[in-house]
A and B are shown apart, each in its own frame.
Chain A
Amino acid sequence: DVKVTQSSRYLVKRTGEKVFLECVQDMDHENMFWYRQDPGLGLRLIYFSYDVKMKEKGDIPEGYSVSREKKERFSLILESASTNQTSMYLCASSFTSWGQFFGPGTRLTVL
């Protein structure tokens, strides 16, 4: 079974802090994605990566950056956290057009 793990299930940070969300997949997938999920808005794509050291902006990249130094790991960085970044963050990976596999999510609260 594909396994996508995220470093934390719950995280509480203060405004202005730098926040790192880590995601690891164990199936050698080429593609990795970061989404945020907010009530009534569904899943919105922040950034994605097709390969190591490669990244592309999704629909809502402002206030975020990413890093992919190894194939299995994709990190989401909030350079200076703000309260409007309080959300559920979901990481996913995929190999081809067989659908994306999601991690359990990190619920981030920014105070």
Chain B
Amino acid sequence: GQQLNQSPQSMFIQEGEDVSMNCTSSSIFNTWLWYKQDPGEGPVLLIALYKAGELTSNGRLTAQFGITRKDSFLNISASIPSDVGIYFCAGQGDFGNEKLTFGTGTRLTIIP
């Protein structure tokens, strides 16, 4: 099955730094989603994007739905220790088709 290209695979940053990660696809998606997975837990939905060009914020998190509908970006500002985890992007194709295609994840580590 198709998978999304998510980069970087891992990041090591210091507390307070900003973080950027992205996902690209060869196919168009109608919805982009960003999830975070804490160690030993299931992924939790952070942000959902429904329109090309849309920019949405959730606290220190900002995500964008690319104009081409083939990519999406997630930024985290002023990182804190609880931001540690794995971040996944996911794309959804046709409306009414509930299947998601997931990226391979970005593992974020914060260096004290």
Contact = CB atoms under 8 A, between A and B. Distances in A.
Please classify how large the interface on chain A is, using the bins under 10, 10 to 19, 20 to 34, 35 or more.
Answer: 20 to 34
B99 A102 contact: no
Contacts of A78: none
Interface residues of B, number: 26
B22 interface: no
Interface in B34-55: 35, 40-45, 48, 50
A73 interface: no
Contacts of A102: 35, 42-44
A4 B43 CA distance: 12
Given A44-B1, A97-B95, A99-B33, A90 B42 contact: yes
A81 B61 CA distance: 41
Interface in A41-79: 41-45, 48, 50, 58-60
Given A42-B104, A43-B88, A103-B42, A94 B1 contact: no
A97 B33 CA distance: 10
A5 to B, nearest CB: 10
Given A31-B98, A94-B98, A104 B41 contact: yes
Nearest to A48: B99
A41 B104 contact: yes
Contact of B45 (A31, A48, A101, A103): A101
A4 B88 CA distance: 19
A77 to B, nearest CB: 20
Interface in A91-111: 92, 94, 97-105
24 contacts: A4-B42, A35-B102, A40-B9, A41-B104, A42-B88, A43-B43, A45-B1, A48-B98, A50-B98, A58-B1, A59-B1, A94-B98, A97-B31, A97-B92, A97-B95, A97-B98, A99-B45, A99-B48, A100-B98, A102-B43, A102-B44, A104-B40, A104-B42, A105-B42
